[in-house]
Amino acid sequence: MIDPLKKLLKHLNSILEPERQEEIEQRHKMALQWQDTDRLPLVMCYPLDESANYKPFPHREIFDSPEKMLYNELVHAFDTSIAMRDEINDDLPLTVRANFGTVLVASMFGCEVENAEDNPPWARHLESKDEFEKCLDNFDPSDFSSPWMAKAEKTLKVYKQILSEYPKLKNMIQIVLPDLQGPLDNAAMVRGSEFFVELLTEPELTAKAMKLAAQAQANAAKHFSPYLTEKVNGFAHQHAAMIRGNILLRNDSSVMISPEMYSEKIACYDDMVLNAIGKGSIHSCGKIGHVAEKFMEIPHCLSVDFGQPEMNDLDTIYSIAKERNISLIRVSVSKEQLISGEVQKRFPTGVSLVYRAESFAEAQEIMKQYAGR
């Protein structure tokens, strides 16, 4: 094991407390089930300070080193830091994932994956419709032999082996699913932007692609499941937050389509994945008010995760979610609402919160005032 990771794990073994993490998990669980809580769970996001004792390796170095990837996951992931748990008292669940970006399912389709410098990997889409059709005709949604799927599996295996050497940490730090995207985003990644035209002009072809992408995603989730250590029954973790169900679908492309098109052409494939894995949640970045209600109509959707909550009419979405017992993940409010307690009047329960601080010092101060009210 590399020395920086050894040092970090020793540090975490000394600062992390099982009772504290149990309290955090319980607070998330109660809020997401629309139960009364002492306060809404709040995760603080912040830039890593120059004075931080632990700093991540360059991103380009982690894809061939599970130990460096694990180290980075513990140091600074989703603008949060497990390594700094002793310096901030927020409600961060402790999770690590195999961080290969968005390309894993696309790699199963044979897309060439590249990465340059410190950018996340990306998949080169198929240039022609003929290539796309041939790919779909020959695709096996249970074939996990792509090099990137193999890297992800190896990484999860290494995570599990390393954490097994630290019993205290093993029971607190949960290994969670890699990002497997969603049927629409994966199919569009394989085909490219032409996919959105073909949703209208080639409905049978795009339906076939999304069905295969849904099967591949569900199969990939099951394939990785032996390495996961999710411990809260009926809940999982993604994006440094707890979600309801067992998987989070990414549906960022939904911002580009109408609610009617989503319901008619996309929703059934999202639900296919959620049903196969035992229910779950849906994520999208951007302004998603026009499709959020459609997400909440899916039978096996239990919560909606926001990438950019500030772009949305959260009060309207909350009123719909409350009627349907759908929880909202990573809702953001102002500093003033957190400190004054107004947030609890606005959203009594049913949500988890995130605050994006400009500095670690600001995150510390706001969390102190929020938790100490």
Going from N- to C-terminal start, the domains of the chain cover 93-229
In contact, 189 and 201? CB cutoff 8 Å: no
Amino acid found at 62:
I
What is the pLDDT at residue 276? 97
What topology does CATH give the domain 93-229? TIM Barrel (3.20.20)
Question: Where is average pLDDT lowest: 224-228, 269-273, 368-372?
Answer: 368-372
What is the pLDDT at residue 233? 86
User: Around Cβ 330, how many Cβ atoms within 10 Å?
Assistant: 23
Read off the pTM: 0.96
Average pLDDT over the chain reads: 96
Per-residue pLDDT tens digits for 329-372 = 999 999 999 999 999 999 999 999 999 999 999 999 999 999 98
φ and ψ at residue 215, rounded to 5 degrees: -65, -45
For the segment 72-87, the average pLDDT, to the nearest whole number, is: 96
Per-residue pLDDT tens digits for 277-332 = 999 999 999 999 999 999 999 999 999 999 999 999 999 999 999 999 999 999 99
Q: Percent helix, strand and coil across the chain, each rounded to 5?
A: 50, 15, 35
pLDDT exceeding 90 applies to what percent of the chain?
95
Per-residue pLDDT tens digits for 145-178 = 999 999 999 999 999 999 999 999 999 999 999 9
Which pLDDT band, with edges at 50, 70 and 90, does 54 fall under? very high
Alpha helices in the chain (DSSP H): 3-15, 18-32, 66-75, 104-108, 129-137, 147-164, 167-170, 183-191, 194-201, 203-224, 259-261, 267-277, 289-295, 314-324, 335-340, 342-346, 360-371
Structure tokens at 99: 């961080």
Strand 280-284 vs strand 248-250: parallel, antiparallel, or unpaired? parallel
In contact, 227 and 153? CB cutoff 8 Å: yes
| pLDDT at residue 373 tops 90 | no
Alpha helices in 37-176 (DSSP H): 66-75, 104-108, 129-137, 147-164, 167-170
